[in-house]
Amino acid sequence: MNIEAVLLWIRGPGLGLALGIFLFGMAIKLLEIFLLGRKKNLAAVRSSGVAAGFRTILSRSLPPDGNILRRPRFTFIFGYAFHIGLFVVMFFLAPHIEVSHALLGLSWPALPTPVVDVFTIISIIAMMALLWHRLTSPLLKYLTTPQDYLVWALTFAPLLSGYMAYHHLLLPYTWLLSIHIGSVELLLILFPFTKLTHAFTLFIARWYTGMMAGQKGVQS
């Protein structure tokens, strides 16, 4: 089997399979969460908490007090750099929008490649910094589980291989593209069964925290 055939499989049935597992897994994940249910609050509330819940969903994306340089600085600076960078690359690189157009029929304007490149490099550097932090900080070393390294690798692989493929670095393009798409598929497959789910479940978490605090009259 040659590499062209591999790429063809990865772009075709492989992608379908990965997307299928991702969607099915996420459906199960959400059912697991929502089927547990929650007791109704019988205390006389100060507000319904709905507005507070939505505000918390937004506000926890911003640094506390609007200060990105707050402590622990390392986590804040590189945490934001990585997430923002990843977001820009995922959604504003022209080939990614083409994939979306082909799969869903949805497209939007792309950012110029040099701009996306800058974000990619920022994201790659930030991820390496965060890994270094995890490996050296006594606090993070204590908290870190093998899964934390796994999800780091699952996220880093598409980022690096995508950058290399786009710029034709080191390996033949077909190889790099196969590795890139393959690593994305691996990410999709393992996504619902690892803490990568936080990308979705954090909205549920923020909602409940914000809503419950809002009912007591506190903007969380």
Length of the chain counted residue by residue: 220
Interaction site with other proteins (CB under 8 A) = 28-29, 32-34, 36-39, 41-44, 46, 56-57, 60, 64, 71-72, 75, 79, 137-145, 148, 151, 193, 195, 197-198, 201-202, 204-210, 212-213, 216-220
60 Cβ contact list (under 8 Å, min separation 6): 202, 206
Residue 169 DSSP SS3:
coil
Rg (CA), the chain: 20
Residue 43 or 170 with smaller CB distance to other proteins: 43
Rounded Cα distance between 207 and 139, Å, is 28
Q: Name the minimum Å distance from CB 185 to other proteins.
A: 19
Residue 36 or 170 with smaller CB distance to other proteins: 36
Rounded Cα distance between 201 and 208, Å, is 11
Residue 57 or 93 with smaller CB distance to other proteins: 57
Rounded Cα distance between 128 and 60, Å, is 24
Q: Is 66 left (phi over 0), alpha (psi -120 to 50) or beta?
A: left
Residue 102 or 143 with smaller CB distance to other proteins: 143
Q: Name the minimum Å distance from CB 106 to other proteins.
A: 27
Q: Name the minimum Å distance from CB 4 to other proteins.
A: 35
Q: Name the minimum Å distance from CB 141 to other proteins.
A: 8
Rounded Cα distance between 184 and 125, Å, is 19
Rounded Cα distance between 57 and 79, Å, is 18
Kindly give the interhelix angle for 198-215 and 50-59, rounded to the nearest 10 degrees: 140
Residue 60 or 96 with smaller CB distance to other proteins: 60
Residue 174 or 194 with smaller CB distance to other proteins: 194
Q: Name the minimum Å distance from CB 90 to other proteins.
A: 18
Q: How many angstroms separate the first and last alpha carbons of the chain?
A: 56
Q: Name the minimum Å distance from CB 85 to other proteins.
A: 16
